Structures are given as C-alpha cells and as structure tokens.
Amino acid sequence: MKMINLMRGSVMKIHGLSSASRRLAAEGGVRGLSSSSGPRVCIVGGGPAGFYTAQQLLKARQNTAVDIYERLPVPFGLVRFGVAPDHPEVKNVINTFTQTGQHERCSFHGNVNVGKDVTIDELRQAYHAVVLSYGAEGNRSMGIPGEGLPGVFSAKDFVGWYNGLPSNKELHPDLSFETAVILGQGNVALDVARILLAPVEMLKETDITQNALEALAGSKVRRVLIVGRRGPLQIACTIKELREMVNLPNTRADMLPADFEGIAEALKDLPRPRKRLTELMMKAVKEGGDDKAEKCWGFRFFRSPVEVLAGADGKRATGIRLALNKLEGSGESARAEVTGQLEDVDCGLIISSIGYKSIPIDPAVPFDPRRAIVPNEMGRVQDTAGLYCSGWVKRGPTGVIATTMNDSFDTARVLIQDMEAGKLDLSVNKPGAQAITALLQTRGVRAVLFSQWEKINAAEEKRGKSLGKAREKLLDVDEMLKIAWS
C-alpha cells in the first residue's frame, strides 16, 4: 500500500505541469521527471501479471522505469476479457492497475505485437531486463473426432465472445438448442453455465456485450450439463461459484444420485474447504430445487468426451459421446480409468472448458511444449540472462488473480535481487521505449498510450450509459485505434 503514497506523490507532480508538457512527458518514452540513467525494464503483456510485476518493480526502486507492451489497444487482459460480467467486484483490481499505468515511471504501449512488430532480442537490446507476462491465449483441445464441428466451442472463445474480445466477435454461437454440455468443472465452466442460464435481468446492466446479451435473451438453452472425468471430491470449481449456481433464479439442480455414492461417508475426513464445497453439492442433490423452474443444470461425473456426434447431414454437432470412468485412488491424485462403457447425450451446444494454453512468442525464447510454459527457475528464464517471466506463462494457466499477483511479486523480487547482486549490468545505459518507439515507427506501428486507452475507456462508458450498462465495449480494433488517436 506504500505504493499508493508513492504514486500519489508522483501524480501530484504531474498535475503540476501544464497538460501540454504532461503529454510530452508521456509520449514517445521521454521521461520529464525521472532520471534517465536508471534501470529500464520491459514487460510483455498488459494483463494482471504484467501490471502486478510492474507495480512491484516501481515500488522497489525509485529510479526504475517500466514499459508495458500489449498486443491489443486496451490493457488488463483476462480481467477485462475473462472475468464474468456479473462479477464486477473482481475487476476492482483495475483501479490499482490504472494507478500503475498512470505512474510517471511507467508507460503503457498498446497495439504492439511482440514477436511480430518487434522481436524479443530487439527488446533485450533496448532494456536491462525483459519480463514475459503474456499469459495463455490458446486452449487445450479435447483431441476427439468432431471437435471442429459447428456448435463446438472452447470456453476461452465463448467467454471471449460475451466479454467482447475482438477476435471472438464473429463467434455467433447458436443458442437454439435445449441442452448444452460443458466439458470441465472448473470455475470457467461454472461461469459459462451461469451466463447461459442467468435471467437476462441479472445481466442487462453489466458490461456484457450487447450482441451477447441479445443472443442470450433469445436463447432456447434450458439445460446445462457440466461434465467431469473424475468424481465429486475432485471437482475443481470453488464454493462461491457453486453457490451462485445453486441460488440461480428459475433453475433447479439436476444431479445423478449414483454419482454421489460413498461421498457422505467421506465427508468427515475432508479439510474444511473441500468439506463445505461437497456439503453444498450434496444439498443440491438432495433438494434439487423448484420443480416449476424452467431451467436446470447439473454435474455429470466420471465421464470423458470421446466423440462429438453429428446429425444425419453431418453438418453440425447434435450430441456428444461420453466414456464412463471409474476412479483409482482417492483425493487430489485420484485417476480416471476407462470402463469401456459409453453414453450418448443429445445436445446442440458443446463447450470445452479444460484449460487455457500458452503458446511460444518468439523463436529466441525457450518453450516447453509439454507443459506449455516458458521454462524457468523462480521466474528466471532458463539459459537466458536478463529474461524473466510471470503469471500463467510461467506457471501454467491456473489460479485466480491473487495467485497471479503473488507470482508476479515473486518474479519482480527475483529481478530486483539480480539487479542488486550485479547479475544485470546496469552500468550500461539502455534507450528503452525511445528506441523501440522509433523502431516501430519504421515498421508502420504506432502504440496506444495509457492516456489514449483512457479515451477508449471513456467512450465505452458513454456508450454503456445510453444502454443502461456499466460500459459497452468496443469490439473492433480499428474503432479502438480511431478513438485512441483522435
């Protein structure tokens, strides 16, 4: 929280300047107020990992300059594009990120595609250290026949669609079928289920995109099955999200009592968090909910997808074939084993929510394809001095924002340690953003600065206001750029 004091002081200084000189100080990487001979660090990725890493670096040393590069014109990554629209309080972290973005020693450069517009090697030449915080933009595939059929989506894309990720704006999911099947039982799966079944009243004032809201208002989806390979004691979602499903208006829980055999007996030995979660599930099994409810949802355990089934014309998904499993072992390390039995479920919407996945950004950066992360020791990229990583690209795509926060703080501390131990040669002056901005210019690439994102932000809020919503996100990158640079 000392950070707040620091930034308060710096922001006051900036307010003292005229707006013209303030703009000059912000643009082109010229730093009007801080020393030009301090360490310069570059962060690749403008999501929570990037901002939290920047925050810690700025706090730890009074002369470090931090530049954040982000592919989209808009910052905040999954906080903007992943967190569900009906979870606005989770997005409060944007306030602290905004402070960081406005900090005099930090500059944000949106609309820069690292790996394409500029290479990692070029960044390493311009900065004393580079931190990779670019997250996981791909998704794990189920690897089953029919996965490519219309009607099958990754949760990443479905969530991106209702959250306004530009690359998902043409998703047009067909919501005219009664049953949807979600593979995976983590919090993302529950978010998708909840958004599919929530009354439109609950969503219409949020920042969900208008086209998603309209599609959901006309949705015929009435039943959502959330399928997992293992049993109730291995479920990956957490209790807050489960409680939201149980409390969803006009829906009832539709579970299979057979899936819960032996669970009641196991309760007493469970640690409190797992126990409470399981008890809530058992309650949902027992009580079910209002029989008059129009919609229903349920978990289906011990089932793995083996094939997406197409209708007679073979043109789209009309069902999914599931293999029934049995559990070997218990607890977290229990494994699903095939039994040979199969089960077909009719459905028109299939959403695979089995994990995001990082991809390599640049051939110069080591990448572990098996774990889909950048190999590292405590955030120091293997065999590559001056290169670090934080967030999902470092540890894999799991965990909440606070997880990433702690992880990013860890990486920042390691980087600072290396600075102080002389492992990074700070005696050499590095040009930082000035050099990169000039280089990008020769390639016809222009960055969106934080103050320019704030114009996009204001425009989205204004559009939202006229629709009675928190904001109406711009879906088109060109529109974003037009407003940013106007």
Partner 1 sequence: MSACALRVFVQRAAVTRKAAHQTFSQTTAFPRRGTGSYTHGRGINTLTNSLRAEEKVTVHFLNRDGKRITGKALTGESLLDVVVNNDLDIDGFGACEGTLACSTCHLIFEEAVYKKLGAVSDEEMDMLDLAYGLSDTSRLGCQVCLRKDLDGMILRVPDVISDARVDSEKESSTAPPKV
Annotated binding-site positions for FAD = 49, 70, 78, 114, 392, 399-401
Choose between 459 and 481: whose C-beta lies nearer to partner 1: 459
The CB-of-470 to partner 1 minimum distance in angstroms stands at 5
The CB-of-405 to partner 1 minimum distance in angstroms stands at 5
The CB-of-89 to partner 1 minimum distance in angstroms stands at 4
Choose between 231 and 432: whose C-beta lies nearer to partner 1: 231
Choose between 296 and 448: whose C-beta lies nearer to partner 1: 448
Choose between 447 and 456: whose C-beta lies nearer to partner 1: 456
CA distance 453 to 179: 40
Torsion of CA 213, 246, 349, 77, to 10 degrees: 60
CA distance 301 to 235: 9
In single-letter form, the type of residue at position 460 comes to E
Sheet holding 223-227, edge to edge: 152-154, 349-352, 179-183, 223-227, 295-300, 251-253
For 370, the token pair is 């098996």
The label of the residue with tokens 């997406």 reads 308
Choose between 88 and 115: whose C-beta lies nearer to partner 1: 88
Choose between 179 and 185: whose C-beta lies nearer to partner 1: 185
Choose between 196 and 296: whose C-beta lies nearer to partner 1: 196
The CB-of-324 to partner 1 minimum distance in angstroms stands at 17
The CB-of-209 to partner 1 minimum distance in angstroms stands at 15
The CB-of-440 to partner 1 minimum distance in angstroms stands at 27
CA distance 384 to 123: 13
Choose between 254 and 407: whose C-beta lies nearer to partner 1: 407
CA distance 336 to 422: 49
Annotated binding-site positions for NADP(+) = 185-188, 229-230, 241, 399
The CB-of-441 to partner 1 minimum distance in angstroms stands at 29
The CB-of-463 to partner 1 minimum distance in angstroms stands at 13
Give the torsion sign (CA, 225, 249, 200, 236): negative
* Angle ∠(24,29,35) on CA atoms, nearest 5: 95
The CB-of-149 to partner 1 minimum distance in angstroms stands at 24
| Closest CA relative to residue 447, chosen from 162, 85, 144, 67 | 67
Annotated binding-site positions = 49, 70, 78, 114, 185-188, 229-230, 241, 392, 399-401
CA distance 83 to 460: 17
Q: Report whether 203 contacts 253 (CB < 8 A).
A: no
Choose between 252 and 394: whose C-beta lies nearer to partner 1: 394
Residues that bind partner 1 (CB under 8 A): 1-2, 4-5, 7-8, 11-12, 52, 56, 87-96, 98-99, 184, 186-188, 205-206, 229-230, 234, 236, 238-240, 243, 271-274, 276-277, 331-333, 335, 354-356, 395-403, 405-407, 409-410, 454, 457-458, 461, 470
Choose between 127 and 409: whose C-beta lies nearer to partner 1: 409
The CB-of-246 to partner 1 minimum distance in angstroms stands at 11
Q: How many CA atoms lie within 13 A of 421 on its CB side?
A: 8
